[in-house]
Structure 1
Amino acid sequence: MGQGYSSSSLPGLVRGGDLTLALPDECLASIFGKLGCHDRNNCSLVCKHWKCVDSKSRQRLVLVARSEISLWFPSLFARFSSVSVLSLKCSRKLVSVDDDSLARIPALLPCLKKLKLKGCVDVTDNGLLAFSLHNPPLLGKLSFASCGIGSRGIVSLLVNCPSLTDLTLKRLRKLDAESTPLSFQHQSCFKTESNSNTNGCYSYAKLERLCIKDVHNARLFVPLLCSSAQTLKTLIVCRSSGNWDSVLQSLQTSSSSIVEIQMDNVQLGDPGLVAISSSCPRLQVLYLSRATDCTDDGLSAISNSCRKLRKLHIDSWSRFGSRAIGEEGFLSIATKCAGLQEVVLMGVPITVISLNALATICPVLERMALCNTESVGDPEMQFIGAKFNALKKLCIKNCPISDTGIKAVGEGCPSLVKLKVKRCRGVTKEFMWKLRMRRRHLMVSVDSGSMLVAEDEIDERGGTVQTAVLPPKSRTSTSSSRTHDVNVICSSRGALLLRSRFENALRLNNNNRRRHN
C-alpha cells in the first residue's frame, strides 16, 4: 500500500521523455503490423529506434518494379533483411527490372518465402535460371503474371527450388508462343551440384498447388501434372483454352493426391470428369463454372468415385443448345456424398426432390446458394425452412420467390445466421424489416435491385451500397423520423448508377425550367 512507480523504476519514463522506449521491440513491432502501408512508412521516419524495429519486423514488401529501382535493391533489402514476401509490380508499357536484378534477390533476401512478379516483361528465362541457381531454401510460393518467361525458366525453378510447393502462372504470352511443354526430359542442364541425383531421375517437383489463368495451350502442362500427381493437392484452371479432357486423362495412369479442382470457363466435358473420378478418389472440392460440355453423365461419374466431396460449385452452361448439367446429375451427388458442407448451384433446375435428398443424406450441410433458376420458388423455400436444420448461410439470387418463401425460411432454419437475397423482385422491403425484427441475430443482405431504396438511405462506401431497412410507416402518423434501424447490406452497384442518372435527369429538368422562366 502506498507503493508507486518512480522515474527510475521504468527506463525511459522520465519527465518529457519518450514513453515508447519502455515498450519491448516485439510489442512495438506488433503495433506496426496493424498499421496500413502509408502509416507504417511514416512511423519508420519518426526516430532511429522505430526505424530499426520496423526494418527487423517487416515481413512483406510491395515495390513498383521499374528499371531504376534495381539500383536501390542492395540498400533497400539490407534495411529489410527479414522480408519473406516480395511483390514486384510494373506496367507492361514501362521498362521493368531485368534478369540481373532478379538474380541478385536470393542473396539479398535469404528469408524469402514468396515471390510475385507482375508485368515484369523484361524478366526472361535467363533471369529465372540465374535466380534458381542460388537454390533459395525457403522459397515456397511463386507467382508470375504478364512476364516474359517461358517453359525453360519455369522448369529451372522447379528443379532448383527444393521448397517450391505453390506455382501460379497468368497471362504468359511467351509460354503460349513457344508451345514447349513443361517437360523435365532435359532437366540435367538446369541442375546444380547441390541437387544432383545419382539415379538421374527427377525428384524435385513437389508442387501442392498449381494455378493456371489465361494460358492458352493446355497440352503444355501434361508433363508437369504427371510428374506432380503424387504431391499435387489443388489444381485451378481459369480461362485457359485447349482440350483439358486429354490433359486430365493423362492422370489416369496412377492415382493422384488431388483434393481440390477448379475449372472455370474452359473446354471440359464428360471425358474429363470421368478422368477426375478415376484418378482423384480423395477429391473434396469441385468447382465447375461454365465448362463447355459437362452433363449429368460426367457428374454421376464423380459421385460414384469421389464420396469425400465437401464443397460443390456448379455454374451450368451449354453452348448451342447442347446438354448441360441438370437435376439428375446433382441428385446423384446428393445421394452419394453424405459429407457435403457447401453447395452452390447456378442455372441448375433443382426441385423439392433434390432438396429432399440433400436434407436427408447430407445432415452437415451449412452453406447453400441457389441462383439463376426458375425452378426455385416459394414451395422450395418452404421445404428449406422445414428440413435444413443445420443450414447457417443461405443465398438466393434471381429466383421467382416472394415474401412467403422468405417467411418460411425465417420461421425455420434454426441455425441460420446469414441470409442473402439478390434480384428477387417478389421480396418486399417491408417484409425484410419484419424478418429482421423477428430474428435480430440474423444478418440480412439484400441486393438493391430487389427493392426500392430511398435517396437519403444510400451511402457509397468503396463501391458498396449500405442501407437501413425502415419500419413500415403508420397511416395515421405523419412523422418522418426513423426508428429501429436495421443493417441490411445492398451489394449491387446498380443502385448507384441509377441514382446518378436520376440525379442528372432531375438537374437537367430543373435547368430547363429555369431557362423557360
Structure 2
Amino acid sequence: MGQAPSSSSSCSSCRALSATAAVDSHAREGPAADHRDLTAALPDECVASVFALLGSDDRNSCSLVCRRWHLVDAKSRQRLALAARSEISPSLPPLLRRFSAVSVLSLKCSRKRVSLGDDALALVAASLPSLKKLKLKGCVDVSDDGLLAFSLRRPLALEKVSLIACGFGARGIVSLLRNCPSLRDLTLKRLRKLDAQSTPLSIDAYYDGDDDNEAKNANASKKEKKQVNFQLERLCIKDMHNARLFIPLLCSSKPLKSLVVCRSSGNWDRVLENLRFRGGGATSISEIQMENVQIGDPGLTAIAGSCPDLDTLFLSRVTDCFDEGLSAIASSCKKLRKLHIDAWTRFGGRTIGEEGIAALAAKSLRLQELVLMGVPITAPSLGLLASNCPCLERVALCNTDSVGDREMEAIAAKFGAVKKLCIKNCPITGRGIEAVVAGCASLVKLKVKRCRGIGQESVSHLRARRGGLVISVDAGSLVFDGADGGGGGAGSENEGGGDEEERRRRRGRRRDNAGDNRGGGPAGARTNATHVICSSRSALLLRSKFGSRNASRA
C-alpha cells in the first residue's frame, strides 16, 4: 500500500511549525515539555505528508497510534492493496468506507483459493468514487456479471484497468469499455475464459446481462452505437492465445496510441492487416511493442501503411521479420525515433541484414535510439547511420559476431552525437574501447557486458583519462572454485543477496587464490576453476551443476 506525496510547501510549513512548537514549549515548561505531543501543533496536511514517506507496514502501525492519526491516514491514503480472498468479504464494506479517498486499488488472490465475488466488485465501484486505477489478479470467481455490475456504476474517474488471470470473458470486458468513459489504459493477461469463448471483443456489441434475448441486444446495439464514447489509448495483451479476438477492438479504437503484445499466439500479421484495411486507413498509433509473437514482413508492411505517426517500435524475438519489412517501416514511418530489434533466428535462418539497415539509415532521419540484438551490422552500415541520422544519441549493439574493433573505430570516427553506447556479447578488445573513448566527444556513458576481450583492467586507465565518462564493464565471468567446497561459496554469495562490493571482493580473493595455486603454491594444492560467460539465469543453473560435480569428485 502506498500513497501520493503532498506538495513541498506543506512540508516546509510542517518543518517551520514543528520547530516553533518545540522552541515555545521548551521555553515555557522546560524539561516537562518532553512528555507532551509536539505533533499536536501540526496541521493534518503535514501529518499526511509524513505518512506519504512511510512504507506500508510503518504507515499501518502509525495509523493505530491515536484517533487523529487513524483519521488522517484514512483520508490521505491513495493506494490500497488487498488479498482478495473470500474470507475478507464481511470486512470489505467498512474497509472501503474508511478508505473512501483511495484512487489506486489492487485486488490479488491465488488461483488456488476462492476469491471475492461479483457483489464485492460492485461494492468497490459504489464505495470509491475517486478510483482511477484498478488491478484484478487471480479473481477467478468474478464473472462477467460482476464486471457488468461494476461498469454500470459508471466510474467516471477510472483511467487504467489491469485484468490478470480472472474468470470473465468478452461480455464483461466489452461492458467495461462501453460504460467507463475515462478509460485510457487496458491490460489483458492470461484470461483463459476469454480464450476459450472465442468471442471477438467488439465494442459495437451490446450486452445487458440477458444473453437469451438476442433481438433486443441487436436493436439496442443499433440505437446506442453512436453514443459510445470510446477513448482507449493504450492496449496491452499478454499471454493470450487467440489473436483474432482483438481484430474488432483494434479496428474500432480510433484514439489508440500504444499497442503492446507479449507472448500471445496467433497470426498477428492478419490482425495488423485488418487494422490497415478495416480500420479506415491511417491510425493514431505511435508506439508498438511486439515480443515473442508470430509476426513477419506482412505485419510490418501493414504497420507501415496504417501507422504514419509511429514513434517507437520494439520487435523482440520475432523470427520472420526481414529486410523487406524493415524497409517498409523506414519508408512510411518518417517520425520514427526509437527502434529496438531482437532478431531471433531459428537454426541459422536469415534475418535482418545490411539491406534493411541501409534503408533505415537512408529514410529514418529522426532516429534517436537504436538497439540491435542479433543483427549483423558492419562498419559501412554504421557509417550510413552516422551520416544520415544526426540525432542518433543512444546505440546498443548486442549478440553479434560482426561487431569488432573495426566497427568500434567507425563509431568513434563518425558518431559525434552519441551519448550512450552499449556493447554486449561482441568480439571487441581494449583497442576498440580506447578508440570510442578517444573519438566520441559527446559520450557520457559506455556500457560493456559479456565481451570476453574486455575486463576491468583494460579500462581502468580510460576512467582516469575522461573523468566525466561513466564506464560500466561486466565481463560476465563466474568462477566456480573446487577448493571452496564444490561451489558452495558462490551459491551462498548469490542466495544471501549481500552487498555488491562484498561480492566483488570475494570473487577477487578466489581469483588470487587460484593464481597462487597455479603459480608458486604448494605442489599438492590444486584448484578446479571454471569460467563461464552467460546470463544470470543460466549462470545459476551452471553453478548448481558444476558445484554438484565438484562435490562428488571431492
**Superposition TM-score, scaled by structure 1 size:** 0.86
RMSD: 3.3
Note if contact 2:480-2:543 (Cα within 8 Å) is conserved in structure 1: no
**Which residue of 2 is the match for residue 418 of structure 1?**
445
**Which residue of 2 is the match for residue 237 of structure 1?**
261
Partner of 1:187: helix, strand, or coil?
coil
Flag structure 2 segments of 5+ consecutive residues without an equivalent.
Answer: 1-19, 210-215, 513-533
**Which residue of 2 is the match for residue 480 of structure 1?**
none
The 10-residue stretch of structure 1 (338-347 or 275-284) with the greater mean CA deviation from structure 2: 338-347
Q: Which has the higher helix share?
A: 2
Q: Give, in whole Å, the separation in 2 of the partners of 1:10 and 1:98.
A: 59
Write the letter of the residue equivalent to 1:49. R
**Which residue of 2 is the match for residue 189 of structure 1?**
208
**Which residue of 1 is the match for residue 436 of structure 2?**
409
Count of paired positions: 487
Partner of 2:166: helix, strand, or coil?
coil
Residues 297-323 of structure 1, C-alpha deviations (whole Å, 9 max, x = no match): 011011111010010000112345543
Which of 317, 321, 325 is the equivalent residue of 2:344?
Answer: 317
**Which residue of 2 is the match for residue 431 of structure 1?**
458
Residues 28-67 of structure 1, C-alpha deviations (whole Å, 9 max, x = no match): 2222222222222222222222222221111111111111
* C-alpha distance 450-236 of structure 1, shift in aligned 2 (>3 A): same
* C-alpha distance 124-14 of structure 1, shift in aligned 2 (>3 A): same
Write the letter of the residue equivalent to 1:269. G
The 10-residue stretch of structure 1 (460-469 or 85-94) with the greater mean CA deviation from structure 2: 460-469
User: Equivalences for 1:172-183 in 2 at 5 Å?
Assistant: 172-183=191-202
Note if contact 1:448-1:494 (Cα within 8 Å) is conserved in structure 2: no
Q: Give, in whole Å, the separation in 2 of the partners of 1:491 and 1:320.
A: 21
**Which residue of 2 is the match for residue 482 of structure 1?**
none
**Which residue of 1 is the match for residue 14 of structure 2?**
none
Note if contact 2:480-2:547 (Cα within 8 Å) is conserved in structure 1: no
Q: Give, in whole Å, the separation in 1 of the partners of 2:412 and 2:478.
A: 23
Q: Give, in whole Å, the separation in 1 of the partners of 2:128 and 2:224.
A: 33
Q: Give, in whole Å, the separation in 2 of the partners of 1:313 and 1:160.
A: 36
Note if contact 1:427-1:450 (Cα within 8 Å) is conserved in structure 2: no
Q: Give, in whole Å, the separation in 2 of the partners of 1:281 and 1:503.
A: 54
Q: Give, in whole Å, the separation in 2 of the partners of 1:311 and 1:321.
A: 27
Note if contact 1:381-1:405 (Cα within 8 Å) is conserved in structure 2: yes
* C-alpha distance 304-417 of structure 1, shift in aligned 2 (>3 A): same
Q: Structure 1 residue 84: deviation in Å?
A: 0.5
Write the letter of the residue equivalent to 2:229. Y
Q: Give, in whole Å, the separation in 1 of the partners of 2:400 and 2:449.
A: 13
* C-alpha distance 499-151 of structure 1, shift in aligned 2 (>3 A): closer
Note if contact 1:459-1:465 (Cα within 8 Å) is conserved in structure 2: no
Q: Give, in whole Å, the separation in 2 of the partners of 1:452 and 1:386.
A: 37
Note if contact 1:428-1:450 (Cα within 8 Å) is conserved in structure 2: no
**Which residue of 2 is the match for residue 301 of structure 1?**
328
**Which residue of 2 is the match for residue 217 of structure 1?**
242
Q: Give, in whole Å, the separation in 2 of the partners of 1:148 and 1:199.
A: 27
Partner of 1:120: helix, strand, or coil?
coil
The 10-residue stretch of structure 1 (60-69 or 26-35) with the greater mean CA deviation from structure 2: 26-35
**Which residue of 2 is the match for residue 150 of structure 1?**
169
Tell whether 2:98 aligns with 1:79: yes
Q: Give, in whole Å, the separation in 2 of the partners of 1:27 and 1:337.
A: 51
Instruction: Report sequence identity in percent.
Output: 62
Tell whether 2:33 aligns with 1:6: no
Residues 275-304 of structure 1, C-alpha deviations (whole Å, 9 max, x = no match): 111110000000111223211001101111
**Which residue of 2 is the match for residue 227 of structure 1?**
252
Q: Give, in whole Å, the separation in 1 of the partners of 2:448 and 2:165.
A: 37
* C-alpha distance 405-220 of structure 1, shift in aligned 2 (>3 A): same
Write the letter of the residue equivalent to 1:425. R
Which of 339, 344, 351 is the equivalent residue of 2:371?
Answer: 344
**Which residue of 1 is the match for residue 11 of structure 2?**
none
The 10-residue stretch of structure 1 (68-77 or 282-291) with the greater mean CA deviation from structure 2: 68-77
User: Equivalences for 1:212-291 in 2 at 5 Å?
Assistant: 212-228=237-253, 230-252=254-276, 253-291=280-318
Tell whether 2:399 aligns with 1:369: no
Q: Give, in whole Å, the separation in 1 of the partners of 2:137 and 2:375.
A: 37
Tell whether 2:116 aligns with 1:97: yes
The 10-residue stretch of structure 1 (74-83 or 275-284) with the greater mean CA deviation from structure 2: 74-83
Note if contact 1:429-1:452 (Cα within 8 Å) is conserved in structure 2: no
Partner of 2:25: helix, strand, or coil?
coil
* C-alpha distance 174-501 of structure 1, shift in aligned 2 (>3 A): closer
Q: Give, in whole Å, the separation in 1 of the partners of 2:547 and 2:181.
A: 60
Q: Structure 1 residue 387: deviation in Å?
A: 2.3
The 10-residue stretch of structure 1 (447-456 or 346-355) with the greater mean CA deviation from structure 2: 447-456
* C-alpha distance 26-443 of structure 1, shift in aligned 2 (>3 A): farther
Residues 440-470 of structure 1, C-alpha deviations (whole Å, 9 max, x = no match): 3333333352587999999758598556699
Residues 345-398 of structure 1, C-alpha deviations (whole Å, 9 max, x = no match): 011001112211221222222211111101000111122223222222211111
Q: Give, in whole Å, the separation in 2 of the partners of 1:432 and 1:492.
A: 23
Flag structure 1 segments of 5+ consecutive residues without an equivalent.
Answer: 474-489, 513-517
**Which residue of 2 is the match for residue 125 of structure 1?**
144
* C-alpha distance 185-459 of structure 1, shift in aligned 2 (>3 A): same
Write the letter of the residue equivalent to 2:395. M
* C-alpha distance 199-78 of structure 1, shift in aligned 2 (>3 A): closer
Residues 145-193 of structure 1, C-alpha deviations (whole Å, 9 max, x = no match): 111110000000011111111100001110110000011343263799x
Write the letter of the residue equivalent to 2:390. P
Note if contact 1:119-1:147 (Cα within 8 Å) is conserved in structure 2: yes
Q: Give, in whole Å, the separation in 2 of the partners of 1:345 and 1:268.
A: 18
Q: Give, in whole Å, the separation in 2 of the partners of 1:148 and 1:504.
A: 44
* C-alpha distance 444-143 of structure 1, shift in aligned 2 (>3 A): same
Which of 30, 35, 57 is the equivalent residue of 2:54?
Answer: 35
Q: Give, in whole Å, the separation in 1 of the partners of 2:271 and 2:318.
A: 15
Q: Give, in whole Å, the separation in 2 of the partners of 1:459 and 1:289.
A: 32
Q: Give, in whole Å, the separation in 1 of the partners of 2:461 and 2:414.
A: 23
**Which residue of 2 is the match for residue 486 of structure 1?**
none
Q: Give, in whole Å, the separation in 2 of the partners of 1:32 and 1:498.
A: 45
* C-alpha distance 21-196 of structure 1, shift in aligned 2 (>3 A): farther
Q: Structure 1 residue 506: deviation in Å?
A: 7.7
Note if contact 1:314-1:345 (Cα within 8 Å) is conserved in structure 2: yes
Q: Structure 1 residue 328: deviation in Å?
A: 1.4
* C-alpha distance 453-503 of structure 1, shift in aligned 2 (>3 A): closer
